[in-house]
Amino acid sequence: MTAGRTRWLFASQLGSQFDDGGQIMLIEARSVFARRPMHRAKAHLLLSALRHRARELGERAEFHRVDNYAEVVDGRDDLEVIDPTSWSARRFVRKRGIAVLPSRGFVTNETDFGEWAASRGSSRLLLEDFYRDMRVRTGILMEGSAPAGGSWNYDHDNRQPPPKNAATLGLAPWWPTEDDIDDEVRSDLDQWSSEGSVRLVGEDGPRRFAATETEANQALSDFLDYRLADFGRYEDAMLQGDWTMAHSLLSAPMNLGLLDPREVVDAAEARLRAGEAPLNSVEGFVRQIAGWRDYVWHLYWHLGERYPAQSNYLRATTPLPDAFTSLDPEQITANCLRETIDGMRRHGWAHHIQRLMVLGNWALQHGYDPVALNDWFVDMFVDGTPWVMPANVIGMSQHADGGIVATKPYASGGAYINKMSDYCGSCRFNPKVRLGDDACPFTAGYWAFLDRNESRLARNGRMGQSLAALRQLSDREAVVDQERRRDSW
């Protein structure tokens, strides 16, 4: 902290890792909530976290509730910031000459990533290479110069389907207790909505995600004690009666800056060393945070601000349907999609495989506009941020960059969903059927997607087998025609 300066902290910088002592400024700007429709649980969490932080800091913090940042910031020359997390916020602070300190909140820093990326020359920036380099540089899960357990990757032990006939994993998480700040937030949101200054979607409450550092640490301990051991094997499993499975629910507190991801990773490694969690789970969890989370953060800057707008390799232009924009499960028959959208409506959250293989897969098959989808994910998820989305949505899930982030599209039919979940048993459609009244829209949609993009995907060696199977389909034309006409899904 530079003497005489006030540190302006953003809503992604609310934990003690961003506080070096000294005077703090927090701004609650209504315009942030008014840009586009936002999930009500997300608006609630952001406001609750900011207001809790202001109360914790007491007289050390100036807390402004205004319409926009410029009202408070313009004309001041005493401010410093820790580099913020979006292109627009970085532009805003630099344009005003505000002192900028290096970013925090990730396991690796931007300089190290820049050096690593430069050292790769023209080679692809693969997650697996970044992840191994990170492990060596940080010593996380290392035994000397070798990876703990002798292998870098335990994916073969993970990705199991859910236990047969189980309605839930029985690993219900700890939940925060709301207080007077949450009551005030709820009534403010009611008022802002009725005035028409914000457009909120979905349900708000009870609050399920940590809004303070104390709550975040409680959520972390609960995960380490009760779910980390099963995290690995059920990482990709889905059960309609269990919306949290063995996941950590820590993305929101980490993205609010309430937890230091390095400390989270170290705490998981300590459970391994104490014999309290298996290596496949701990490695899988470390890979998600120090691997994927850091990797997509660095790619956000590396790929550039125009990466989303310039990426539409599959020429996808379909607008998002009302069932998505209004989070209305009543408009959806497909059980997997209906349950996922319903979970989003209730919580502003879905777990990874629902995001990738249900929502993302569906959007990919139906050619939803990638930028509109990217913005929808930012606005509708409690953990949605501008930096996390481009690599995940534009790159990984929609293949809109033609293969920079993922070597092939994450498209699959109902067989995958059937294997990894219990959704299909009570669905009106049949995952094995591609033609007729019972045809599963994911199964038939998969073939229609391949048909529509055949010529572009033919350039991708990894799609050879799928395209060969498409060409052998006896009813290809009928399936494609059926999906073109489909009005109920």
Ligand X SMILES: Cc1cc2nc3c(=O)[nH]c(=O)nc-3n(C[C@H](O)[C@H](O)[C@H](O)COP(=O)(O)OP(=O)(O)OC[C@H]3O[C@@H](n4cnc5c(N)ncnc54)[C@H](O)[C@@H]3O)c2cc1C
Contact set with ligand SF4 (CB under 6 A): 334-336, 414, 417-418, 423-424, 427, 429-431, 440-442
Give the torsion sign (CA, 163, 164, 170, 175): positive
Minimum separation from the CB atom of position 431 to ligand SF4 (A): 4
Minimum separation from the CB atom of position 284 to ligand SF4 (A): 25
Minimum separation from the CB atom of position 377 to ligand X (A): 5
356 binds, among ligand SF4, ligand X, none (CB under 5 to 8 A by kind): ligand X
Q: Which is nearer to ligand X, 188 or 294 (CB)?
A: 294
Minimum separation from the CB atom of position 359 to ligand X (A): 7
If we measure between CA atoms, which residue out of 282, 292, 417 comes closest to residue 362? 417
Minimum separation from the CB atom of position 240 to ligand SF4 (A): 9
Minimum separation from the CB atom of position 196 to ligand X (A): 27
Q: Which is nearer to ligand X, 293 or 338 (CB)?
A: 293
Q: Which is nearer to ligand X, 43 or 54 (CB)?
A: 43
Minimum separation from the CB atom of position 219 to ligand X (A): 9
DSSP string, 198-261: --EES---S--S--SHHHHHHHHHHHHHHTHHHHTTTTT-BBTTBSSTT----HHHHHTTSS-H
On the question of a cis peptide bond just before residue 206, with omega within 30 degrees of 0, the verdict is yes
381 binds, among ligand SF4, ligand X, none (CB under 5 to 8 A by kind): ligand X
State the residues that interact with ligand X by CB under 6 A.
Answer: 247-251, 254-255, 288-289, 292-293, 296, 351-352, 355-356, 360, 377, 381, 383-384, 388, 392-393, 396-397
Q: Which is nearer to ligand SF4, 240 or 311 (CB)?
A: 240
Cβ–Cβ under 8 Å, residues 373 and 363: yes
Q: Which is nearer to ligand X, 103 or 482 (CB)?
A: 103
Minimum separation from the CB atom of position 276 to ligand X (A): 17
If we measure between CA atoms, which residue out of 246, 314, 322 comes closest to residue 281? 246
Dihedral angle of Cα 378, 224, 242, 212, to the nearest 10 degrees: -40
- The whole-angstrom separation of Cα 19 and Cα 6 is 11
Q: Which is nearer to ligand X, 360 or 413 (CB)?
A: 360
Cβ–Cβ under 8 Å, residues 12 and 84: yes
219 binds, among ligand X, ligand SF4, none (CB under 5 to 8 A by kind): none
268 binds, among ligand SF4, ligand X, none (CB under 5 to 8 A by kind): none
| Burial of 205 per CB tally in 10 Å (0-12, 13-18, 19+) | middle
| Sequence-distant (≥ 6) Cβ neighbours of residue 211 within 8 angstroms | 45, 48, 49, 52, 176, 182, 256, 258
Residue positions counted in the chain: 489
Q: Which is nearer to ligand SF4, 46 or 336 (CB)?
A: 336
On the question of a cis peptide bond just before residue 308, with omega within 30 degrees of 0, the verdict is no
Q: Which is nearer to ligand SF4, 232 or 441 (CB)?
A: 441
Amino acid symbol at 397: S
105 binds, among ligand SF4, ligand X, none (CB under 5 to 8 A by kind): none
- The whole-angstrom separation of Cα 221 and Cα 459 is 47
39 binds, among ligand X, ligand SF4, none (CB under 5 to 8 A by kind): none
Q: Which is nearer to ligand SF4, 54 or 444 (CB)?
A: 444
Minimum separation from the CB atom of position 336 to ligand SF4 (A): 3
- The whole-angstrom separation of Cα 117 and Cα 61 is 39
9 binds, among ligand SF4, ligand X, none (CB under 5 to 8 A by kind): none
Cβ–Cβ under 8 Å, residues 62 and 23: yes
418 binds, among ligand X, ligand SF4, none (CB under 5 to 8 A by kind): ligand SF4
Q: Which is nearer to ligand SF4, 24 or 417 (CB)?
A: 417
Q: Which is nearer to ligand X, 365 or 392 (CB)?
A: 392
Minimum separation from the CB atom of position 338 to ligand SF4 (A): 8
| Sequence-distant (≥ 6) Cβ neighbours of residue 249 within 8 angstroms | 173, 208, 209, 219, 223, 349
249 binds, among ligand SF4, ligand X, none (CB under 5 to 8 A by kind): ligand X
Minimum separation from the CB atom of position 322 to ligand X (A): 20
Q: What is the CA radius of gyration of the chain?
A: 23
255 binds, among ligand X, ligand SF4, none (CB under 5 to 8 A by kind): ligand X
What Å distances lie between residue 460 and 75, 139, 408, 463, CA to CA?
A: 54, 36, 7, 6
52 binds, among ligand X, ligand SF4, none (CB under 5 to 8 A by kind): none
